[in-house]
Amino acid sequence: MPLFPFRVRHAALLLALLVPPTAHATPATAPIVSIRMFAFAPASLTVAPGTTVTWTNSDDDPHTVTAEDKSFHSAALDTGGRFSFTFTRTGTFGYYCSLHPHMTGKIVVTAG
């Protein structure tokens, strides 16, 4: 009984077909949280580890994106300003606007 029933190059080809580089739960598009009307939308976003989330400010007033645990902190974003952060660890990451602390949101990073 041979250990590998296929010739090696056939097995490699089969693997390449079965395991494309995008096989993991990577979203097709990079998620965006928009900031408008003094709120983050969506206020709660669930992503896979390794996902880069981008916030965009659509308000006339400046806002920041500040992690509760300080793991990320944007500068004040003017209208049209953007901030991106790549979430590598799993967990729930609450954040707020340091200029208007009643503005809160969270990113849930789960491999599930």
* Residue ranges in contact with Cu ion by CB under 5 A: 63, 97, 99-100, 103
**From start to end of 21-63, where are the E strands?**
32-36, 39-41, 44-47, 51-57
- How far apart CA 45 and CA 32 sit, in angstroms, is 9
In angstroms, give the least distance from the CB of 99 to Cu ion.
4
Least CB distance to Cu ion at residue 70 (A): 17
Residue 96 Cβ, how far from Cu ion at the closest point, in Å?
Answer: 8
Q: Please name the residue that has the structure tokens 């901030």.
A: 83
- Residue 20, both tokens: 């494309």
Query: Which of 51, 63 has the CB closer to Cu ion?
Result: 63
Nearer to Cu ion, 67 or 99 (CB): 99
| Closest CB to Cu ion among residues 10, 73 | 73
